[in-house]
């Protein structure tokens, strides 16, 4: 009996040992399988990262191509607002406008000067600069010859500058001369108080009538017809390493509202146009301005810290606001830092918000925003103002052509729209009272793009979002005076 019990115990012990070994082997196999799967998932994750990264780099190449081989430019007449230094000139302020009203040079000793030029384009890349004058002479006598020169150091004469010398007729005529090759042109040079144009009479004895002196500058612009905007630079999907790049988008940050510079009214009306009740939008916009007075926003996400900002409001506005677009620190009327909005790429909601605070007629702000979108689909806007009648893509003539904008009062609705969209100190037309911008002005280019690339592999998707400068750089400043460049990148599974 004892031997039988002993054999049974040994049998039971053997069974338990076999079971334990079996469980151990099964557990080990499960662990190995799980680790193998994890390694596989990790490899797939790395593949998706690299595939999505390839999409980002394809977008960066499209952005760089736009810089190195741009296809679109704008040309504008730079209007000067300062006539200080003019000597014995009748009505010198008339030289600021091309409108048929003239200043007069009576003698060879008279000296007509114009300075403080346009501030609408300081972020664009200059391709050519022409010096221009629109003038005529009085009839009779021995005629008159005008000479126009310029200085970049505030003193005349300056070595190396180019003079336009022209015998005049009795009809107001525009004359230009290229000064592109004289030096490397930058906006700080053109906008400096040391940049001055000068006109004198060098021959003849008849009075010279000067309608205007101006610079005609051609510069590179960014519009909604370029490859980076339309997506024509790439064919999707792109098959790579067993996965695909499913989508690549490039968004112009200059088409958005800058959180660090936008006026309270611009922020308010943007939120209203995106579905927030007016009273709530008014309060939150005020809180945004209060917050940034001591804490400039370093990211769009930071706006969620503002009192009253809800997830619904944030989700509505996050794709319409930015901290990366160019800030014009030279804006006038009123002076201060403003981030201009690219009229060619801004969504209709942003365009509408720009005009909402101008107290236009009922529905006029919406009509104007819709008309801009319609017009730019036909031909993008290229400048704020051009005196060349063959140029039909300037915003000045476009606004003047909106019959629903009242021309009663001073300033009238057309003047208010134009003044708000103009960063310069000149009012739209000579004699107008002028109107300080209450939202922000327009621009025609961009310096920052938000690139989004989505890749997929085995029914899983991965997204990369990154800010890219027009040069391909990943570094940005987020507010005026920021001395630390900040990059932005976000990665997540979808």
Q: At 389, list the tokens.
A: 């009648």
Q: Is the pLDDT of residue 207 over 60?
A: yes
The encoded tokens of residue 349 equal 């909601």
What's the half-sphere exposure (Cβ side, CA atoms, 13 Å) at 33? Answer: 6
Is 80 exceeded by the pLDDT of residue 71? no
Q: What does the pLDDT read at residue 346?
A: 98
d(CA 24, CA 15): 14
pLDDT tens digits, one per residue of 218-273: 999 999 999 999 999 999 999 998 999 999 999 999 999 999 999 999 999 999 99
Mean pLDDT for 455-464 is: 94
Residue 144 to residue 170: CA distance in whole angstroms? 10
Tens of pLDDT along 38-57? 545 588 889 999 999 999 99
pLDDT band (50, 70, 90) for residue 6: low
Burial class (CB in 10 A: 0-12, 13-18, 19+), 305: exposed
Q: Is the pLDDT of residue 4 over 60?
A: no
Sequence-ordered list of residues with C-beta below 8 angstroms from that of 447, at least 6 positions apart, any chain: 123, 253, 254, 325, 326, 469, 470
Contacts of 50 (CB under 8 A, 6+ apart): 240, 241
Q: What is the pLDDT of residue 152?
A: 95
Task: Say how many C-beta atoms besides its own lie within 10 A of residue 455's C-beta.
Answer: 30
Output 34 or 217, whichever has higher pLDDT.
Answer: 217
Q: Is the pLDDT of residue 361 over 70?
A: yes
Q: How far apart are the first and last CA of the chain?
A: 70
**Read out DSSP for 294-306?**
TS--SSSGGGGGS
pLDDT at residue 484 in the model: 83
- Residue 371 to residue 84: CA distance in whole angstroms: 40
pLDDT at 383 over 50: yes
Residue predicted with more confidence, 163 or 324: 324
* Tens digits of residue pLDDT in 132-191: 999 999 999 999 999 999 999 999 988 778 889 999 999 999 999 999 999 999 999 999
Give the residue, 3 or 303, on which the prediction is more confident.
303
Whole-angstrom distance, CA of residue 363 vs CA of residue 379: 24
Element (H, E) at 451: strand 448-457
The DSSP result for 307-346, as a single string, is TT--HHHHHHHTTTEES-S--EEEETTTTEEE--EETTT-
Residues 6+ apart with CB under 8 A from 12: none
Position 429 confidence tier, pLDDT thresholds 50, 70, 90: confident
Would you say residue 68 has pLDDT above 90? no
The whole-number average pLDDT for the span 53-67 is: 93
Q: Give the contacts of 96 (CB within 8 A, at least 6 positions apart).
A: 79, 80, 81, 83, 114, 212, 426, 430
State yes or no: pLDDT of 130 exceeds 90: yes
Half-sphere exposure of 250 (CA within 13 A, CB side): 32
Domains in the chain: ranges and CATH: 52-71+224-493 (no CATH), 73-220 (2.60.120.260)
Decide if pLDDT at 37 tops 50.
no
Q: Grade residue 438 by pLDDT with cuts at 50, 70 and 90.
A: very high
Query: Would the pLDDT of 403 be above 90?
Result: yes
Cβ 127 vs Cβ 218: under 8 Å = yes
Q: Answer yes or no: are the C-beta atoms of 411 and 418 closer than 8 Å.
A: no
Q: What is the mean pLDDT of the chain?
A: 91
Asked if pLDDT for residue 77 goes beyond 80, the answer is yes
pLDDT confidence bin for 127, thresholds 50/70/90: very high
For residue 103, CA distances in Å to 163, 166, 199, 425 come to 20, 17, 11, 20
Alpha helix (H) residue ranges in 180-226: 187-191
The predicted pLDDT at position 8 comes to: 67
User: pTM, whole model, 2 decimals?
Assistant: 0.88
């Amino acid at each position: 009996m004892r031997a039988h019990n002993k054999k049974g115990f040994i049998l039971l012990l053997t069974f338990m040992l076999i079971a334990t070994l079996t469980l151990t082997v099964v557990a080990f196999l499960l662990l190995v399988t799980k680790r193998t799967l994890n390694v596989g998932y990790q490899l797939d994750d790395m593949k998706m990262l690299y595939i999505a990264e390839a999409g980002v780099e394809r977008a960066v190449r499209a952005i760089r191509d736009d810089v190195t081989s741009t296809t679109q430019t704008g040309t504008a007449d730079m209007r000067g607002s300062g006539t200080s230094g003019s000597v014995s000139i009748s009505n010198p302020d008339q030289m600021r406008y091309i409108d048929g009203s003239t200043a007069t040079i009576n003698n060879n000793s008279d000296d007509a000067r114009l300075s403080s030029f346009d501030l609408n384009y300081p972020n664009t890349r200059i391709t050519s600069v022409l010096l221009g004058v629109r003038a005529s002479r009085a009839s009779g006598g021995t005629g008159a010859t005008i000479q126009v020169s310029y200085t970049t150091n505030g003193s005349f004469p300056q070595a190396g500058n180019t003079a336009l010398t022209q015998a005049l007729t009795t009809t107001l005529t525009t004359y230009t001369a290229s000064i592109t090759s004289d030096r490397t042109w930058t906006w700080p040079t053109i906008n400096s108080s040391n940049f001055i144009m000068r006109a004198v009479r060098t021959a003849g004895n008849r009075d010279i009538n000067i309608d205007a002196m101006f610079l005609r500058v051609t510069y590179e612009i960014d519009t909604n017809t370029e490859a980076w905007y339309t997506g024509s630079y790439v064919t999707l999907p792109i098959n790579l390493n067993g996965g695909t790049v499913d989508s690549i988008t490039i968004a112009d940050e200059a088409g958005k509202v800058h959180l660090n510079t936008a006026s309270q009214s611009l922020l308010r009306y943007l939120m209203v146009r995106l579905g927030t009740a007016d009273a709530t939008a008014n309060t939150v916009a005020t809180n945004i301005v209060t917050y940034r007075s001591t804490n400039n926003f370093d990211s769009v996400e930071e706006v969620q810290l503002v009192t009253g900002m809800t997830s619904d409001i944030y989700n509505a506005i996050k794709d319409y606001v930015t901290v990366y677009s160019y800030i014009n620190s030279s804006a006038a009327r009123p002076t201060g830092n403003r981030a201009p909005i690219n009229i060619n790429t801004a969504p209709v909601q942003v365009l509408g918000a720009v005009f909402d605070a101008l107290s236009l007629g009922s529905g006029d702000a919406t009509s104007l925003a819709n008309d801009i979108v319609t017009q730019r689909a036909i031909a993008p806007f290229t400048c704020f103002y051009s005196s060349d009648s063959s140029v039909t893509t300037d915003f000045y003539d476009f606004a003047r052509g909106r019959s629903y904008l009242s021309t009663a009062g001073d300033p009238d609705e057309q003047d208010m729209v134009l003044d708000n969209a103009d960063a310069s100190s000149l009012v739209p037309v000579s004699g107008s009272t002028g109107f300080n911008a209450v939202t922000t002005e327009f621009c025609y280019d961009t310096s920052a793009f938000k690139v989004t690339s989505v890749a997929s592999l085995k029914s899983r998707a991965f997204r990369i979002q990154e800010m890219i400068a027009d040069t391909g750089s990943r570094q940005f400043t987020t507010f005026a005076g920021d001395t630390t460049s900040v990059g932005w990148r976000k990665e997540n599974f979808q």
